[in-house]
Amino acid sequence: MGKRTEFLYLNEEEMIKAGVLDAAHCIDVEVELFGLLSSGDYRMGGDKANSHGIMVSFPKESPFPNMPLDGPDRRFMAMPAYVGGRFNVCGEKWYGSNIINPSRGLPRSILMVMLNDPDTCEPIALMAGNLVSSVRTGCVPGVGTRYLARKDAEVCVCIGAGPVSKSCFEAIALEAKNLKEVVIYDLFKEKAEAFAQSVTEKHGLKAWAADSLEEAVRLGDIISVAASSVKPVNMKNEWLKKGSTIIFTGRCNIDEEYFSSAKIYWDNPRMHEVYYEEHLALPEDKRFINGIGVQVYRMMYEGKMAPLSEAVGLGDVVVGAKEGRVNDDERICFITSGMPVWDVGWAYEVYQNAVKMGLGTKLLLWDSPYLN
């Protein structure tokens, strides 16, 4: 007789009840996870245990009538990780993305998270993952704000008015205690205006939509780049004032002079080293084109900046191994590409809440495994 195995299924409504939208708590959990990144108490996929994930992409043309074809944001992706410390759990975020989904009444991306016992490998939980991913994505800039932004920052600039940008702002607003004004820029001004109105109604802050990217950026103490555009945001060094903190959650290009003078922090330099090596494996005309931080990769490749082996991760700042902001005049750049460590850690925290609250549906994998 083998071992009976059950796991918990949590739908989106149950995830909300279990606290998945609690950004303040998520920021604190992400701080813990940054500490684990610094110590190395984690694993991700790939030979170096630092791969963001593995993607299934599609061809532009196919002889197979049912095969999906390439398009903007058209993919499936598996993102596995082990998270140590008090979490001690394995898991995976699995998602598909199709840019036409909103016209079907669906989110652009549809995500699930699976958690597993790291020893027996049994499933622990299967849960709706969209809100896990959205909230943890926003809360990483919240951690960046806590450790890197000026304490007296008054103006937050949001580049992009989509769901990710909104999630980033909510976390930034929790950490920027002296925030007074929010400036939003989006290619579609009506979206920026709607975002601004929601900020004023929810937070009581002055919020408005800028007519141009330059107008917005010149005002920012904290600049959150989270635009979903396929093309990167292009800024000029002269637009960014002394003491500003810019957070890359989306792609952004700035004059090289900025990166040579600003202090740069990374979410996880080890993961970016893997990204960098993947770019080097591409044909030369395809390197350093797509991805967050690729402009900096190119500068490293050209010998204009120190290599990633010398880069500073935010986790090292969190644990006190490296210094963060030293004075109010420093311009700081925080580059974050996301990683499954955060999804798995936050999902496990919400799962524990759900168990305490008696939420979810137990599903039977087997009473006794057939193959034993």
Q: Is the pLDDT of residue 232 over 90?
A: no
Question: What's the pLDDT at 1?
Answer: 76
Q: How many whole angstroms separate alpha carbon 328 and alpha carbon 341? A: 31
Residue 265 forms beta bridges with which residues? 312, 334
Question: What's the pLDDT at 260?
Answer: 86
Tokens 């900020």 correspond to: 199
Say if domain 5-133+341-366 classifies as CATH 3.30.1780.10.
yes
Question: What's the pLDDT at 286?
Answer: 83
Residue type, 170: E
Give start and end residues of each alpha helix (H) in the chain.
12-17, 23-39, 130-148, 163-175, 189-203, 213-217, 256-261, 269-280, 294-301, 314-318, 340-357
Q: Where are the domains of the chain?
A: 5-133+341-366, 149-339
Q: Is the pLDDT of residue 229 over 70?
A: no
Q: How many whole angstroms separate alpha carbon 235 and alpha carbon 171? A: 24
- Predicted confidence (pLDDT) per residue in 192-214, tens digit: 999 999 999 999 999 999 999 99
What's the token pair of residue 57?
């992409």
DSSP state of 151: T
DSSP state of 51: B
Contacts 24+ apart (CB under 8 A), 276-282: 276/300, 276/301, 276/308
This model's pTM is above 0.75: yes
- Angle of CA points 144, 148, 149, to nearest 5°: 100
Mean pLDDT of 228-241: 83
- Selected from 3.40.50.300, 3.30.365.10, 3.40.50.720, 3.90.1150.10, the CATH number assigned to the domain covering 149-339 reads 3.40.50.720
Q: Is the pLDDT of residue 71 over 90?
A: no
Residues 105 and 117 sit within 8 Å (Cβ to Cβ):
no
What's the token pair of residue 69?
């074809």
- Predicted confidence (pLDDT) per residue in 324-350, tens digit: 999 999 999 999 988 999 999 999 999
